[in-house]
Amino acid sequence: MRSEMSDKPLVHVENLKKHFPIRRGIIFQRQVGAVQAVDGVSFDIHRGETMGLVGESGCGKSTTGRTMLRLYPPTAGSVLFGGKDIFKSNGRDLLAIRRQAQMIFQDPYASLNPRWTVNAIVGEPLWVHGLAKGRAQTERVQELLKLVGLNPMYINRYPHEFSGGQRQRIGVARALASDPEFIICDEPISALDVSIQAQVVNLLEDLQDKLGLTYLFIAHDLSMVRHICDRVAVMYLGKIVELAPKDELYNNPLHPYAQALLSAVPVPDPKAERKRQRIILTGDVPSPVNPPSGCHFHTRCPIAQSVCSEQEPEWRDPTVSGGHWVACHLAQ
Amino acid sequence: MPTILQVQNLQTRFKTYDGLVYAVNGISYDLNEGETLGVVGESGCGKSVSMLSIMGLIPQPPGQIAGGQALYHGSDLLKKSDAEMRHIRGKEVAMVFQDPMTSLNPVLTIGFQISEALQLHMAMNADQARHRTIELLEMVGMSQADRAFDNYPHQFSGGMRQRAMIAMAIACMPQILIADEPTTALDVTIQAQIVELVKRLRDEIGMAIIWITHDLGIIAGLAQRVIVMYAGFIVEHASVDEVYDNPRHPYTISLLGALPRVDMSREERLTSIPGLPPNLIGLPKGCPFAPRCRFVVDRCRQENPPLIAVAPNHEIACWVNVQTGDLR
């Protein structure tokens, strides 16, 4: 783990829920159900740490990230950032928090305004937070471009003039503009080619060392998460099923879903591949509108017993070494 | 094993407003019966276009097959008429595409789309085709196959749609299956399901497979031989063990160095390849990888290295012997 960790977490997420209502009717709309995208998620992130949040599409990992910063209004729960509750803050307080907590998005083609120049895109946080204007803004933007490995001469270009990897660098520069402490990276590399992925990951690691950043790294690429993160949380259908330091999780996964997920990832090594035992899960992820009773995973779990469909498993740490949390009745 | 497909010096270009795009620049390889060949490369390296060229699926214009041969059982696929190709596509050589939602017709049932091929190629009547289609859907692991027959693509999940696409591809028991990134749009647990399925079908039917991907992980467990492509050229071609244990082209070496592994901890930095893949307008002078290569020498900028054998079952296109630093 990285050095400057203190006991008090920088971010504390408690029982976070986000349900999207499903409405029927044309004039008199009534709610007929809810997509329970995030259904009671709790975790801490320490200063200087990289926390990984992994899971398959639709498990609620991106919604968790977006709701944490109130890009979606939360349904329930609280998120403390440096001791302040983001969900209870308004106006000036919220603006101050948002200056400290930024986000990098997945799709560098959709997340940059095509009609704005790089100067406007990267400079926007500067004028929103009143940090720099006019010439000072331009200079700061050029400095940021240099920091992320782009030529400062590109300041008056538009997003379409850049490749995917370069656009993602612009997204990183924009996130860094307000000098934040905490950045949520929402699948920042999944739209990029392999050789470009490594460039962006190395950039994120360098910036963390240089600026002492704290990351929440949301991804579905489990190999990359093992490389970049300190601790990793695995999500399934709106809930965290396992959370542990990365080597502990990857070497000794306790939850049957985490075991299956890790065994499904192919390894670029033919000899290791021939020896690997895969746990092939049957079926698809159930709908989050009507998630299964008890443990959400029991419909696909290879070791499920009757208790799994009846009771929701408690969140516990069964290990001797500690710090390895799992939500499973049967994990030991 | 007898050779089933022999591609020689295939060249595909596209006319665009910006100039002629050299998508595939003289690639040659063989495919043996029952073998799985992996084709690896990043987006825009020509891996899909080279397969579409063989299948006669390149719209001409703007595309043009500028040269080469694709001998299937000795007869050149590139010289066949559209009508002749229609008898080969789907029956002898079938293809599975990346995105199952855009390659299925949304207004026709899954059953209709699969049985259509059977009625066309195998001269079955509607009842026989229906019966066989349900068998195929069961083969690819579709639950309640008789009900799935009458369902539309939107009623299935991504994994199920890809299963339906595979059922359609194997409907006429083709000799070659070309899989163009069939699992890229899927989640990793579903990807594992599809890979297991294809391995099982390969052993049952005995077809040869060309598996195109950018994921070096999948190929490691699936293919016997691997082709690495860059900028429309084959840069390395070797058996799967050779490529991973003993990569010799600087591009392959960097690509493998850029990959973290899920099964072991790796603290050192990833090797990133500086710069960007080349723009394919106009043929590059010299080696196309030279501007991004760590081992570059003067000759690389002047002359494009040919693909030559450096060991048994191992060909590379590079002037530099990366292990010793000598020139070839």
Assign domain B1-83+224-262+269-285 to its CATH superfamily.
Answer: P-loop containing nucleotide triphosphate hydrolases (3.40.50.300)
State which amino acid sits at residue B170. I
Q: What angle do CA B102, B106, B112 make, to 5 degrees?
A: 115
Greatest pairwise CA separation for chain B in angstroms: 67
Q: What are phi and psi of B307, to 5 degrees?
A: -80, 115
User: What one-character-per-residue DSSP string does B88-125 give?
Assistant: HBTTTEEEE-S-HHHHS-TTS-HHHHHHHHHHHHS---
Residue intervals of chain B classified under CATH 3.40.50.300 are 1-83+224-262+269-285, 90-216
Q: Give me the pLDDT at residue A244, please.
A: 94
Query: Are A45 and A104 a contacting pair, CB within 8 Å?
Result: no
Q: Give me the pLDDT at residue A3, please.
A: 43
CA distance linking residue A136 with residue A142, whole number of Å:
10
Interface contact A201-B270, CB threshold 8 A = yes
pTM of the model: 0.86
Helices B188-205, A256-264: axis angle to 10 degrees equals: 60
Residues A145/A146/A148/A151 CA torsion (nearest 10 deg) = 70
Interface contact B220-A268, CB threshold 8 A = yes
Name the pLDDT band for A232 (thresholds 50, 70, 90): very high
| pLDDT tens digit at each of 328 positions of chain B | 788 999 999 999 999 888 888 999 989 999 998 899 999 988 888 888 999 999 888 888 888 888 888 999 888 988 888 888 888 888 889 988 887 778 888 999 999 999 988 888 888 888 889 988 998 888 887 878 888 889 998 888 777 888 888 888 888 888 999 999 888 877 888 888 888 888 888 888 889 999 999 888 889 989 999 999 999 999 999 999 999 999 999 999 988 988 888 888 777 788 888 887 888 887 778 899 998 888 888 888 888 999 988 888 899 999 888 777 777 7
In chain A, what residues touch B244 (CB-CB under 8 Å)?
268-270
Given CB atoms, is A193 within the 8 Å cutoff of chain B? Answer: yes
B43 exposure class (CB count in 10 Å sphere: 0-12, 13-18, 19+): middle
Chain B nearest-CA distance from A192, in A, is 9
**How many Cα atoms within 13 Å fall on the side-chain side of residue A118?**
31
Class of domain B90-216: alpha beta
Tell me the helix, strand and coil percentages in chain B, rounded to 5: 35, 25, 40
Report the number of secondary-structure helices (H) and strands (E) in chain B: 12, 12
Interface contact B273-A220, CB threshold 8 A = no
Mutation target for B interface from A189, A194, A271: give the one with most B CBs within 10 A.
Answer: A194
A306-329 pLDDT, tens digit each: 999 999 999 988 888 888 999 999
Chain A nearest-CA distance from B257, in A, is 9
For residue A232, give Cα distances in angstroms to A20, A240, A251, B274, B286. Answer: 26, 10, 12, 29, 45
A200 exposure class (CB count in 10 Å sphere: 0-12, 13-18, 19+): buried
In chain A, what residues touch B191 (CB-CB under 8 Å)?
264, 266
Nearest CA to B49 out of B316, B280, B289, B287 is that of B280
Asked if the model's pLDDT at residue A192 lies above 50, the reply is yes
Interface contact A246-B266, CB threshold 8 A = no
Interface contact B244-A262, CB threshold 8 A = no
CA distance linking residue A236 with residue A254, whole number of Å:
14
Query: Are A47 and A6 a contacting pair, CB within 8 Å?
Result: yes
B32-82 pLDDT, tens digit each: 988 999 999 888 888 889 999 998 888 888 888 888 889 998 889 888 888
Interface contact A193-B42, CB threshold 8 A = yes
Compare CB distances from A223 to B196, B259, B277 and report the shortest one's residue. Answer: B259
